[in-house]
């Protein structure tokens, strides 16, 4: 009865492993629908190393109010462009000054949006005045685009409207003071905001003097909380931010570029990964017999789950750094399996019976593997939080691996080994377990005094 | 009944009976490590790293090819065809070699929009290394000469050729926005913070001197990897930072395995715990099998990639990975045990229970 249940478990787990493997690797059209299923591997977002991109070259021209050389102005614009792309959710991009008067931007093809990039070509200047413009009067601006370091769409909870949050530069703070003092002199408690030019038709909105600050919320007179108001505020915020650039950009060319590592790099990485896994599987099987085969089955679960989470969790993107992390993840898992299997061999060699050896193998490896996974987990979280791009992706992959690995080891591996024991608890040769002829089998399941000591010390640590 | 001895058993016995005293060899190996690190520091300091595309000073040029072949004036190149594509690269490479530079990377591009209103034209965008000894103006003059030479090599005589989907764009110096430097700084900080965490964790779980061993081993492995990358002239790219992170993690895995095994051996009385050298030596022997298997798998992987990977960037990455694996294996077998026994203090225990 017990044997039959074990066989059933093995069959079910093997079928699940096969299905997971197919879901990981294969792409197909879901029957009776027009939906395409891509497979976990094909759904992982790729970085520039593996994915095609779009390269856009902009011609740069100095804006009128600039005193520096064009080259200097372009360099100062690069950092603002960096902020622009980062704010608009581009996970990978590259910004370069090309020659003397051009800026080259590369974004991933899947993230390319002509609408988004066209925002770079539509700057809007912003002006703050203390008097309202009219046909007769063009008031002086005391705070303008050059004083603003960033503009982003925002929501005012009190007024329940979408608007724009402006952040001033350090020099902008001085301009803000002169704006406030001018408002005092004129006796106005309202400041008027104009876009593009100061005239009555370009009035964007008003703001009370007491609401002026290094960061301030402005909204148009027609602002509301609808989605169209959000889109409008979003576009205006982008235009205002682009208006703070020291150069004006116009698109010169746009080209599609192949992946940095070549067109088939991802396929080659997968082939290498497959060869690596097969080499490890062969080793586990040769070295540990049936136990190695069980370890191989769990390795399939691990790889499938790893890829599943990598495509499901948004902070993972695969470049060469991520690929190294996948190799590392598999190593972490296989090293942990070897630690358990070697421990089982050791337990058997000192005279324990097979089921006791397996039980002790897991028990006595626990703290060793717990330490390993905790360090990997925390280190990867640190890399994820502190690192950028490559390192962050590296941390992301290892983070997933350390959780999935521990689950696979202490839930799946243990479960499968327990299911195996009723099938074979008398033939150690099948599991490549052996002991010297002079070692007698321990009949009772009582750990030796030395073993008890080892257990308590390992589990408790130094404390 | 006489038991049949399997290969596994033979191997296990061979390791168990191995007379090599790894701890005794520590001084020799640490001397070798130091020599390599110093040599690497000299190379990095005086010659510099062989900076790859992510960090080197580069120029970019675009060669437009008439893939349709409808213009009789010029030879047609279909860059989707590997033979033609390699021919284009070969011609450009010959020109660049004359000017003592080389192709850093090449990408096929489809020109979707261009000033001259060309749609769907094919081009190869090539980046090549600038001469670091030249000023910006001199480099510009050199780029202009390179452009002329490439045009001549392809038989493109005039600038107007571009309008016929044939020709060569101006070669422009690329100035990268320094976010690659930000990546390096953030990586250094991330590795340092992670290493500090590992040290503190090891102290809490094992013993106070573990702090020194963990610090020295991680520093040794990372510095040795960096030194070998400098000496072997493997290009230093963002992927190299990934390899450094790999080195860090493998060092931590090795240390964890080493310390837990050492603790197990001393606690079970399998080795004289008063003798640090013996503990270190026996622990190294006990872990030797695991290390051999794991690093053999990484060697196989790296060598496969070096032999068969289609792009030079991938082969260089595999080479860096191989260097990291060699360093970690070397450290796990020959260095960590020495670092361990140098700071080893036998744990004073209440013996009455034994």
Q: Per-residue DSSP letters for A337-367?
A: HHHHHHHHHHHHHTT--HHHHHHHHHHHHHH
Q: Per residue in B142-193, pLDDT tens?
A: 888 888 888 888 777 655 444 444 567 777 777 665 566 777 888 888 888 9
Residue B92 confidence (pLDDT) above 80: yes
Which domains are present in chain B?
A: 8-49+177-348 (1.20.1640.10), 58-174 (3.30.70.260)
Residues A84 and A204 in one domain: yes
3-state secondary structure of A125: coil
Report the distance separating Cα A384 and Cα A397, nearest Å.
9
So what's the pLDDT on residue A409? Answer: 92
Q: Are residues A222 and A296 in the same domain?
A: no
CA-nearest residue of chain A to B198? A375
**Single residue among A257, A280, A313 that ends a domain in this structure:** A257
Domain end marker among A257, A282, A306:
A257
Condensed to tens digits (0 to 9), the pLDDT of residues A173-226 reads 888 899 889 888 888 888 999 988 888 888 888 888 888 888 899 888 777 888
Q: Which of B204, B207, B249 sits opposite A398 (nearest CB)?
A: B249
Mean pLDDT of chain B: 78
Question: Which pLDDT value is given to residue B164?
Answer: 46
| Reported ipTM | 0.76
Q: Does B187 touch chain A (CB under 8 A)?
A: yes
Distance of alpha carbon A451 from alpha carbon A453, whole angstroms: 5
Question: Does residue A376 form part of some domain?
Answer: yes
Task: Find the DSSP H helices in chain B.
Answer: 7-16, 26-42, 82-98, 136-154, 179-205, 210-232, 238-268, 276-308, 312-330, 336-342
Q: Tell me, yes or no, if A55 comes closer than 8 A to chain B by beta carbon.
A: yes
Alpha-carbon distances, residue A394 vs A131, A291, A323, B110, B324 (angstroms)? 55, 31, 8, 31, 16
Asked which of A301-315, A417-431, B175-189, B321-335 is least confident by mean pLDDT, the reply is: B175-189
Residues A244 and A351 in one domain: no
In this structure, is residue A43 part of a structural domain? no
pLDDT tens per residue, range A71-89: 888 888 888 888 888 888 8
Whether B9 shows a pLDDT value over 80: the answer reads no
Contact B194 A95 (CB under 8 A): no
The predicted-structure confidence for A21-40, as pLDDT tens digits, reads as follows 999 988 888 887 888 888 88
Let me know if residue A46 belongs to a domain.
no
- The reply to whether A239 falls in a domain is yes
In whole angstroms, give the CA distance from residue A117 to residue A251: 9
CATH number, domain of A13, equals 1.20.1640.10
Same domain, A89 and A237: yes
Q: Are residues A394 and A323 in the same domain?
A: yes
Would the CB atoms of B177 and A462 count as touching at under 8 Å?
Answer: no
Encoded tokens for A256: 């599609």
Residue A381 placed within a domain? yes
Alpha-carbon distance B123 to nearest alpha carbon in chain A (angstroms): 9
Contacts of A382 in chain B (CB under 8 A): 190, 193-194, 197
Task: Identify the pLDDT of residue A405.
Answer: 94
Which own/partner contact pairs does A12-21 have at CB distance under 8 Å and 24+ positions apart?
A13/A297, A13/A416, A13/A419, A14/A297, A16/A301, A17/A297, A17/A300, A17/A301, A17/A304, A20/A300, A20/A301, A20/A304, A20/A305, A20/A308, A21/A300, A21/A304
In a domain, A44, yes or no: no
- Residue B323 Cα to chain centre, angstroms: 7
- Confidence band (pLDDT; 50, 70, 90) for A303? very high
B88 — contact with chain A (CB < 8 Å)? no
Confidence band (pLDDT; 50, 70, 90) for B83?
confident
Residues A83 and A111 in one domain: yes
CATH, residue A159: 3.30.70.3400
Nearest CA in chain B to A54: B109
In chain B, which residues have their Cβ closer than 8 Å to the Cβ of A268? 305, 308-310, 314
Is residue A39, in this structure, part of any structural domain at all?
no
Which residues fall within 8 angstroms of residue A280, CB to CB, at 6 or more apart? A299, A330, A334, B297
The model's pLDDT over A165-178, given as tens digits with 9 standing for 90+, comes to 999 988 888 888 99
Same domain? For A269 and A291 the reply is yes
In order, the DSSP letters of B23-70 are TTTHHHHHHHHHHHHHHHHHIIIII---B-TTTS-EEEEEEEE-SS--
- Candidates A156, A178, A157; CA nearest to A168 is A178
Mean pLDDT of A293-315: 91
**Does the pLDDT value for residue A454 go beyond 50?**
no
How many Cα neighbours within 13 Å face the side chain of A295?
Answer: 28
Q: Among A210, A234, A257, identify where a domain stops.
A: A257
Q: Quick one: what percent of chain A has pLDDT higher than 90? A: 18
- Å from A253 to nearest chain B CA? 4
Domain span including residue A189:
53-257
Q: Is the pLDDT of residue A52 over 70?
A: yes
Q: CB of B194 within 8 A of CB of A379?
A: yes
Please, what is the angle between helix B238-268 and helix A354-386, to 10°?
Answer: 140
- Decide if A79 and B177 are in contact by the 8 Å CB cutoff: yes
Residues A221 and A353 in one domain: no
A28 in the same domain as A63: no
Interface of A with B in 280-339 (CB under 8 A): 280, 283, 287, 319-325, 327-328, 331-332, 334-335, 338-339
Mean pLDDT of A95-119: 82
What would the mean pLDDT of A102-106 be, rounded to a whole number?
A: 87
**What pLDDT shows up at residue B110?**
72
Asked if A378 is an interface residue toward chain B (Cβ–Cβ < 8 A), one would say: yes
| B301–chain A Cβ distance below 8 A for any pair | yes
Q: Is A131 in the same domain as A269?
A: no
Total domains present in chain A: 2
Average pLDDT over residues B273-299: 81
CB proximity list for B354: less than 8 A, separation 6 or greater? A449, A453, B269
Given pLDDT bands bounded at 50, 70 and 90, which one contains residue A64? low
- Residues A412, A425: Cα–Cα separation, whole Å: 19
Is the Cβ pair A390, B250 closer than 8 Å? no
Instruction: Compute the average pLDDT of residues A42-71.
Output: 82
In a domain, A347, yes or no: yes
B276 has a pLDDT exceeding 70:
yes
For residues A176 and A302, state if they share a domain. no
Min mean pLDDT across A345-359, B63-77, B304-318 is at B63-77
Residues A27, A65 within the same domain:
no
Judge residue A90's burial from the number of C-beta atoms within 10 Å of its C-beta, 0-12 exposed, 13-18 middle, 19 or more buried.
Answer: middle
| Interface contact A261, partner B, CB < 8 A | yes
């Amino acid at each position: 009865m017990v044997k039959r249940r074990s066989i059933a478990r093995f069959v079910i787990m093997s079928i699940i492993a096969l299905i997971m493997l197919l879901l990981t690797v294969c792409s197909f059209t879901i029957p009776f629908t027009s939906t395409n299923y891509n497979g976990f591997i094909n759904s992982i977002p790729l970085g520039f190393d593996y994915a095609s991109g779009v390269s856009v070259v902009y011609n740069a021209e100095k804006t009128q109010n600039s005193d520096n050389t064009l080259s200097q102005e372009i360099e100062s614009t690069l950092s603002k462009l960096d902020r622009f792309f980062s704010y608009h959710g581009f996970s990978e991009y590259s910004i370069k000054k090309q020659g003397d008067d051009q800026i080259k931007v590369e974004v991933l093809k899947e993230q390319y949006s002509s609408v988004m990039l066209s925002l770079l070509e539509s700057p809007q200047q912003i002006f703050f005045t203390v008097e309202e413009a009219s046909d007769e009067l063009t008031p002086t601006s005391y705070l303008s685009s050059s004083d603003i370091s960033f503009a982003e769409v925002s929501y005012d909870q009190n007024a329940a409207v979408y608007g724009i949050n402006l952040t001033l530069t350090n020099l902008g703070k001085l301009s803000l003071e002169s704006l406030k003092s001018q408002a005092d002199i004129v006796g106005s408690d309202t400041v008027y905001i104009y876009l593009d030019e100061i005239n009555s038709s370009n009035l964007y909105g008003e703001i009370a003097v007491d609401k002026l600050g290094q960061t301030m919320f402005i909204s148009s007179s027609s602002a509301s909380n609808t989605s169209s108001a959000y889109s409008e505020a979003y576009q205006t915020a982008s235009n205002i931010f682009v208006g703070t650039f020291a150069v004006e950009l116009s698109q010169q060319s746009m080209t599609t570029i192949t992946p940095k590592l070549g067109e088939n790099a991802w396929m080659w990485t997968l082939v290498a990964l497959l060869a690596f896994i097969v080499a490890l599987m062969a080793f586990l099987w040769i070295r540990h017999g049936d136990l190695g085969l069980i370890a191989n089955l769990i390795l399939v679960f691990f790889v499938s789950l790893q890829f599943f989470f990598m495509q499901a969790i948004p902070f993972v993107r695969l470049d060469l750094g991520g690929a190294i992390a996948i190799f590392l993840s598999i190593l972490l898992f296989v090293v942990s399996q070897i630690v358990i299997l070697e421990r089982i061999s050791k337990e058997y060699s000192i005279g324990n019976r097979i089921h006791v050896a397996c039980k002790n193998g897991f028990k006595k490896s626990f703290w060793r593997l717990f330490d390993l996974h905790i360090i990997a987990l925390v280190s990867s979280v640190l890399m994820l939080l502190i690192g950028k791009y490559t390192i962050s992706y590296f941390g992301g992959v290892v983070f997933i691996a350390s959780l999935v690995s521990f689950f696979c080891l202490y839930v799946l591996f243990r479960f499968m080994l327990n299911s195996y024991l009723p099938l074979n608890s008398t033939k150690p040769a099948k599991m490549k377990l052996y002991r010297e002829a002079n070692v007698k089998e321990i009949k009772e399941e009582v750990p030796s005094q030395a073993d008890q000591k080892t257990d308590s010390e390992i589990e408790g640590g130094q404390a | 009944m006489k038991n049949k001895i399997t290969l596994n058993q033979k191997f296990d016995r061979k390791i168990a009976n191995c007379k090599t005293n790894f701890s005794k060899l520590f001084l020799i190996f640490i001397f070798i490590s130091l020599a390599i690190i110093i040599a690497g520091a000299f190379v990095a300091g005086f010659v510099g790293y062989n900076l790859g595309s992510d960090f080197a000073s580069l120029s970019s040029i675009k060669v437009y090819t008439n893939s349709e072949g409808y213009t009789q004036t010029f030879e047609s190149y279909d860059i989707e065809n590997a033979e033609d594509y390699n021919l284009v690269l070969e011609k450009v490479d010959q020109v660049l070699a004359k000017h003592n530079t080389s192709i850093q990377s090449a990408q096929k591009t489809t020109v979707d929009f261009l000033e001259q209103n060309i749609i769907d034209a094919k081009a190869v965008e090539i980046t090549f290394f600038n001469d670091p000894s030249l000023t910006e103006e001199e480099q510009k003059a050199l780029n202009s000469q390179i452009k002329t030479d490439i045009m001549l090599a392809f038989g493109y005589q005039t600038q107007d050729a571009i309008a016929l989907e044939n020709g060569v764009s101006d070669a422009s110096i690329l100035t990268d926005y320094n976010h690659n430097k930000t990546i390096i700084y953030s990586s250094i900080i991330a590795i340092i913070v992670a290493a500090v965490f590992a040290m503190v964790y090891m102290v809490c779980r094992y013993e106070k001197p573990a702090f020194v061993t963990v610090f020295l081993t991680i520093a040794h492995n990372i510095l040795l990897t960096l030194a070998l990358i400098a000496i072997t002239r493997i290009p230093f790219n963002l992927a190299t930072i990934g390899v450094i992170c790999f080195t860090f993690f493998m060092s931590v895995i090795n240390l964890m395995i080493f310390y837990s095994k050492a603790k197990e051996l001393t606690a079970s009385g399998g080795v004289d715990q008063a003798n640090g050298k013996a503990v270190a030596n026996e622990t190294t022997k006990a872990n030797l099998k695991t290390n051999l298997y794991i690093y053999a798998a990484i060697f196989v992987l790296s060598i496969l990639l070096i032999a068969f990977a289609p792009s030079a960037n991938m082969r260089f990455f595999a080479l860096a990975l191989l260097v990291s694996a060699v360093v970690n294996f070397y450290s796990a077998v020959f260095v960590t045990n020495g670092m361990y026994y140098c700071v080893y203090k036998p744990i004073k225990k209440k013996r009455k229970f034994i």
